Each structure stands twice: as structure tokens, then as C-alpha cells.
Amino acid sequence: MTTVDSRTGSTWLDLVLRFRALGLIVALVALVGVTTALNPRFLSGQSVRDLLFAAAVTLLLACGMTVVVLTRGIDLSVGSVLGLSAYVTGSALSATGMPTVFALPLGLAVGAACGTLNGAIIHFGRVPPLVATLGTLYVLRGVVYFAAGGSRINASDLPPGFLDFGSGDVLGVPYLFAVSVLVLAAVGVFLGRYRAGRDLYALGSNPEAARLAGVPAGRRLMTAYVLSGALAGLGGVLYAARFGTVDASAGYGMELDVVAAVVVGGVAIFGGSGTTLGAGLGALLLTVIDNALPVLRIDQFWQQAIVGALILAAIALDRLVSVRAARALRRKGSHV
């Protein structure tokens, strides 16, 4: 009796995902090449450095968003969590004289607390992720506005070492971008090599089957939202270090950029497939678009239209991949 290799479908999907990553790289190279041909200064050392600075925070938040979207969820509160973390960290550094080395753990703790709140509302309250995180988006933003009270933290209030971290680089690569890439790699290893990470794919692919297989759905869901919140909190620290000036509007509206980066990067909005590498490439591509199109003298409206078209194309491709994979599995099953 013929048996079906259960890995066939997943291998096929892995090949598709790798192809999509290659497509993003090709798009990046093409866009940079055209822009540089028209304006050679676009690829100057300072311009590349500025691009990496601009992409660092979005790339970091995209890693956390990827983990959540894999479970068929979404975290719309990341911009507000970033703003809260940036303000809390900046206030602690300026008011208490806290050593700069404690800024990262503080931001992670603030973000993890917010992520725990999101996870608890979704898991224990049985509230849909879209509704739950939309609510915490507004609640946390209100907390930031209340705490700030119309004031702001200026660069002169922050320790020089903290600002040096935000503007420094190693071998031409900004510290902030290096931190984001390290986080991307770590989350990628977690998702690909550890059982808890693989469980997130299972939950997104088929929640009921995953539960029947013994996956601790509630615990994994909490892990996803705590991780997303923690990385948004870390993003708040990087934001404060980069800009120096922090007010209640820090990170406002950023959640839409992060979701766009994740979807364009090939993470299925329906859950179950995607990689942090793809999300990172999506963040880089959108950053390059934002910086290249003004150089090409293309109106801002068309910038937004291009991003929207990329999102729609990515979702359409996700549906095509899932439909073709389902058909392939059915054909295999019919030959058993």
C-alpha cells in the first residue's frame, strides 16, 4: 500500500516561501539600482546608514508581529506600547539618573507587561485579537498622554551614553540596526528550531488539530503576545535613543507600517506560514520605498498606493499558495 510523505506539502510551501524572499531581494535591488542610476548619492555611505536607521525599529517590531500573525492573531497595540516604553525609559533615564545599561531591560519589561495584558484579554476573555489589541492601542496611548501631560523629554535630559548608542555604529552598521538583526535571527531560530516555536505554526495552520495533538494553545498564545509586546518595548528604547526627543505621540500609527511589512514579507495573514527573514525584508523594502520615491519625485499619494498594492498582491499570493497546496494534498490523498 502506497504511503503519502507528510512532508511533501510543507516542503513545497518552504520552496515557495524561499522564492518569495528571493523576489523581495530582487525588488530591493531593482529599486535601489534605478534610484541610484538617477541619483548616485542615494547609495552613498551616509544615505545607506540613514536607511538602516530608519528600518531598525520597524524591522524589530515586525519580528514580534510575525510571531503573533503566525497564530492567526494580530497586535495593533505595538505603536502604543512603543510610545509607552519610550516615555517610561526616557523619564527613568532623565529623572533618576539610571545607568544606560538598564534601559534595555526596562523597555523589555514594560513591553512584556503590555503583551501579557493583551494575551490575557485574548486567551482568558475570549476576545478576538483585532478587537482586544485595538482596545489596548487606545488605552495605552491614553496612558502615555496622561503621563506626559503635554511635556516631552529632550535630548539634553538624556545621558550622553544613551544618545551615543542611538547614533553610533560598528563597521558602518548602526547599533540599532545590529540589535534588530540579532533579534530577527534569534526569533527565527526560536520559530524554526524549538518546539514552542513550531507549535505557533501548528496553531495558525489548524488550531483544533493542534489542540488535539497536545499543543498547549493558551500558553503558546500568551508566549506570542508577550514576545510581541517585549519587542515593541525594546523598540521604544531604540526609538528614544535614536531621536533623543520623546513625547506622547511617539510611535503613533506605526502599527500599520509593521503589519504592512509583515504581510508584504510573506507572513500569511491567515496564519500558519511565514518567516522573520521575510518580515525583515518586507520592512527593508517599505523603508527603501519611502526613501526612494521622493528622490524619484513621485507624489506621496503614489507611495501609499504602491504599498497598498503590495499588500493586496501579498494576500492574493497567500490565497493562491494555500489553494494550490490544498489541491496537491488532495491529489496525493486520492492516490493512497
Domain annotation covers residue 84: yes
Domain annotation covers residue 33: yes
Domain annotation covers residue 4: no
Burial of 309 (0-12, 13-18, 19+ CB in 10 A): exposed
Q: How confident is the model at residue 65 (pLDDT cuts 50, 70, 90)?
A: very high
pTM of the model: 0.87
> What are the start-end ranges of the H helices in the chain?
7-38, 45-70, 78-96, 103-123, 129-148, 160-167, 175-193, 195-205, 207-212, 217-243, 254-264, 276-295, 300-334
Domain annotation covers residue 1: no
User: Average pLDDT, stretch 243-266?
Assistant: 91
% of the chain with per-residue pLDDT over 70: 88
Per-residue pLDDT reduced to its tens digit, 99-130: 888 999 999 999 999 999 999 999 999 999 99
Domain annotation covers residue 312: yes
CATH code at position 237: 1.10.3470
Residue 24: count other Cβ atoms within 10 Å of its Cβ: 22
Per-residue pLDDT reduced to its tens digit, 203-243: 998 888 988 889 999 999 999 999 999 999 999 999 999 99
**Grid cell of 131 as nine digits:** 478587537
Domain of residue 239: give its range: 10-331
Domain annotation covers residue 146: yes
Is the model's pLDDT at 18 over the cut of 80? no
Domain annotation covers residue 17: yes
Which residues, in sequence order, are CB contacts of 3 under 8 Å at separation 6+?
336
Domain annotation covers residue 336: no
Q: How many domains does the chain have?
A: 1
Is the model's pLDDT at 246 over the cut of 60? yes
